[in-house]
A and B are shown apart, each in its own frame.
Chain A
Amino acid sequence: MQLTMNRILSLILLVISIVYIYLSFQLPSYAPAVIDSDAIPKVLGFILLGLSFLLFFDKKDTKMVVDISKKDVFYLVLTVVMIIIYILLLESVGFLLMTSSFLFIATLIYGYRNHLVNLIVSLSFTFIMYYLFNELLMVRLPQGILSL
């Protein structure tokens, strides 16, 4: 028996459905309800369980392989890391600094070499957005260390 991509996927789904069913059975009951809050989740859990079996034995796409280069994975992971740093620092460092530097650095990393244009776009986009949200839409963006 070959472990194709669909089979790996179906095993992951199997685990998800079992965990989900287990959690559904832990839900507290609420007596007056005709159909309690655990009914639909239980049904969903068993549907997913059944579907993951069907996928395991499905004969379609058995040759499917994931086609992605190591370099691309590197760039995707780098993107995730940059986003995490942005989220973690947004409220303490502030919108203006974080957004303009995110735009500049990310654009640089993805391979844009015209630094002047990059700098102008990063700064003007950030300031326009800041103005739009703070002044026109009355949404306060975090100011952070640059208290204006």
Chain B
Amino acid sequence: MSFEGILSGLEYAISIEGLLFVLIGVVVGTVIGMMPGLGPITAIAVMIPITYGMDPVSAMVMMAGVYYGAVFGGSTASILLNAPGTSSAVVTAFDGFPMAQKGDAGKALAISAIASTAGATVAIVLTMLLAPAMASVAVSFGPAEYFALLFMGLMLITTLSEGSTIKALISATLGFMAVTIGLDPQTGTPRFTFGTSSLLDGIDFLVVALGLFALAEVSHLIINRKFSRDKNEDIGSLKLSKTDFKEMSGPMSRHSLIGFFIGVLPGAGATMASFISYILEKRISKNPSEFGKGSIKGIAAPETSNNAAATGSFVPLLSLGIPGSGTTAVMLAALLVLGVNPGPLLIEDNPELFWGVIVSMFFGTFFLLLLNLPLIPYLAKILLIPRPLLISLVLIFCLMGVYTVSFSTFDMFLLLGFGVLGYLMKLVKLPAAPFILAFILGGMLEQNLRQALNISNGSLDIFLQSPVAITLIVISILSFVMPFILNRFYKKNNINTGDNK
């Protein structure tokens, strides 16, 4: 670990710029994350057009803030409305909402805020240790190893995603197909452009992210547009007693570690971490019957875990340049547009970015604690924004986001097309995350494969001779077996992982 690097990151993080952008990030993330139906990918995609004029460090620090802010904010809606703001907060509603109904909403929010902070803080420290180590291993990777790594990331995310594995694979294949549209970067051959020049540059990932996520999620809001919260609801006291703290400390220490490692794994993100932690906590509990009725541990465990996992997912992104989830994939694509090439060399070439992002997470987490503890009664008022107003504002945000980046009405029509596609995919339960992931990784995957085979002159030996590549490919293939094991695990514990919205 280089201390000079950490210092340069710290220098950025405590500068006025650094503090300002992390604050903007966490506030925007919390607010969007609180809106039921709008998830972290939407939050980041909406912010991307704004980052295009910024320097890469500030942009990345802000986007990271949006991500963990959204994970934080998602639980507020879970507790107050029983309508999770994000999928990673679905489990929080199991115990958070019953506690709120007993009149202890404030207590539930406080537990969630403290557990989230603990999870995030432990995970940041672990990230500082693990990310540089992983980067130093990956420095020697060539195209063959990168292909294997990308392949593994894609396979794991697909096979570990919720619901039907076949559908997740279909979604990933469609995403990969969408990215083959445009000029082939290696030979310059136009592919699937149907003779139009508008498609030569391919489809911008922002169009896909905003359409498939933001617009599709808005359609969910349009259907539920009548929903409104009772205005006179009181949150109650935010104070926790000593016994409450005692009860939280166990799950907080356990699940910050579990959540972090699940987050580092490609494919398993904050949502899965929260489910696994909840199940484990229930299993080791002395009285599992209190789970689901407003248990303190039932809130603390998933909240610690999902925030630790959100932080952990930055490890593969910053050290390998491989996104571990749909959300980090969108961030990766945004970084590439800003001219940063995330990979094992990032820590050497751009220590300010590498360490700036990690160190600023400490400040972001601190701001989130402030936002979520003393300010939560005011913040919760955001949930009172009338739905019709919210829907039209998000629609305009998406349209403007695309237009201000490409100045092309063609791209706006594409956005609409992807919005309709995203909505139809929701209807037939095709998950959207594998699509965006394959869309972003697909191009890199194809390039690395073809480069590797160019080096070996078409022979597959280049993969067989690399132990790293072989191991990774074997893991990817093994991952086909994992869903069956996980399904049995979920069934045994009577947890419904289907669409909980």
Query: How many A residues touch the partner, as a band?
Result: 35 or more
Is the beta-carbon distance between B416 and A40 smaller than 8 angstroms? no
A35: B residues at CB distance < 8 A = 449-450, 453-454, 458
Binds A, one of B27-35, B186-194, B364-372: B186-194
A48: B residues at CB distance < 8 A = 170, 173-174, 177
B282 in contact (CB, < 8 A):
no
For A52, give its contact among B170, B188, B457, B458 (CB under 8 Å).
B170
For A103, give its contact among B192, B393, B427, B430 (CB under 8 Å).
B393
In Å, the complex CA distance between A36 and B180 comes to 13
A80: B residues at CB distance < 8 A = 416, 420
Question: What 1/0 mask marks residues of chain A from 63 to 95 whose CB sits below 8 Å from any chain B CB?
Answer: 010101000100110011001101110110000
| Interface majority SS (helix, strand, loop, mixed), chain A | helix
In Å, the complex CA distance between A125 and B400 comes to 12
A47: B residues at CB distance < 8 A = 169, 173
Q: Which of B169-202 contact A (CB under 8 A)?
A: 169-170, 173-174, 176-177, 180, 184, 186-189, 191-192
B236 in contact (CB, < 8 A):
no
A51 in contact (CB, < 8 A):
yes
A9 in contact (CB, < 8 A):
yes
Residue of A nearest to B385 (CB): A121
For A51, give its contact among B170, B219, B225, B388 (CB under 8 Å).
B170
Question: What 1/0 mask marks residues of chain A from 1 to 17 whose CB sits below 8 Å from any chain B CB?
Answer: 00001100100010010
In Å, the complex CA distance between A47 and B180 comes to 15
**Minimal beta-carbon separation of B411 from chain A (angstroms):** 10
**Minimal beta-carbon separation of A36 from chain B (angstroms):** 7
Is the beta-carbon distance between A33 and B187 smaller than 8 angstroms? yes
In Å, the complex CA distance between A75 and B186 comes to 45
Decide yes or no: A121 and B177 within 8 Å by CB, A36-B187, A64-B429, A72-B223 being known contacts: no
B389: A residues at CB distance < 8 A = 107, 112, 118, 121
B391: A residues at CB distance < 8 A = 106-107, 110
In Å, the complex CA distance between A90 and B408 comes to 11
B184: A residues at CB distance < 8 A = 37
For B170, give its contact among A45, A55, A75 (CB under 8 Å).
A55
Residue of A nearest to B391 (CB): A110
Q: How many residue pairs bridge A and B at CB < 8 Å?
A: 152
Question: What 1/0 mask marks residues of chain B from 75 to 87 whose CB sits below 8 Å from any chain A CB?
Answer: 0000000000000
In Å, the complex CA distance between A63 and B381 comes to 40
In Å, the complex CA distance between A54 and B176 comes to 19
Q: Which of B394-414 contact A (CB under 8 A)?
A: 395-396, 399-400, 403-404, 409, 412-413
B423 in contact (CB, < 8 A):
yes
Is the beta-carbon distance between A23 and B192 smaller than 8 angstroms? yes
**Minimal beta-carbon separation of B382 from chain A (angstroms):** 14
Is the beta-carbon distance between A141 and B173 smaller than 8 angstroms? no
B173: A residues at CB distance < 8 A = 44, 47-48, 51
A135 in contact (CB, < 8 A):
no
In Å, the complex CA distance between A112 and B187 comes to 54
Is the beta-carbon distance between A44 and B416 smaller than 8 angstroms? no
A139 in contact (CB, < 8 A):
yes
In Å, the complex CA distance between A1 and B166 comes to 21
Question: What 1/0 mask marks residues of chain A from 86 to 119 whose CB sits below 8 Å from any chain B CB?
Answer: 1110110000000100110011111110100010
Is the beta-carbon distance between B388 and A110 smaller than 8 angstroms? yes
Decide yes or no: A90 and B403 within 8 Å by CB, A28-B189, A34-B450, A110-B392 being known contacts: yes
Is the beta-carbon distance between A58 and B166 smaller than 8 angstroms? yes
B479 in contact (CB, < 8 A):
no
A86: B residues at CB distance < 8 A = 399
- Tell me the A residues contacting B by CB distance below 8 Å: 5-6, 9, 13, 16, 20, 23, 27-28, 30, 33-37, 39-41, 44-45, 47-48, 51-52, 54-55, 58, 60-61, 64, 66, 68, 72, 75-76, 79-80, 83-84, 86-88, 90-91, 99, 102-103, 106-112, 114, 118, 121, 125, 129, 133, 137-139, 141
- Tell me the B residues contacting A by CB distance below 8 Å: 50, 53, 164, 166-167, 169-170, 173-174, 176-177, 180, 184, 186-189, 191-192, 219, 222-223, 225-226, 386-389, 391-393, 395-396, 399-400, 403-404, 409, 412-413, 416, 420, 423, 427-430, 446, 449-450, 453-454, 457-458
Q: A48-B170, A133-B404 are in contact. List 16 more A-B contacts (CB 8 A).
A: A5-B428, A28-B189, A37-B189, A37-B191, A40-B449, A47-B169, A51-B170, A58-B164, A64-B429, A79-B395, A106-B395, A107-B388, A107-B391, A108-B388, A109-B388, A110-B225
Could you list 12 examples of A-B contacts with CB < 8 Å?
Answer: A9-B430, A23-B192, A33-B186, A37-B189, A44-B177, A48-B174, A51-B173, A58-B166, A61-B429, A114-B386, A137-B53, A141-B404
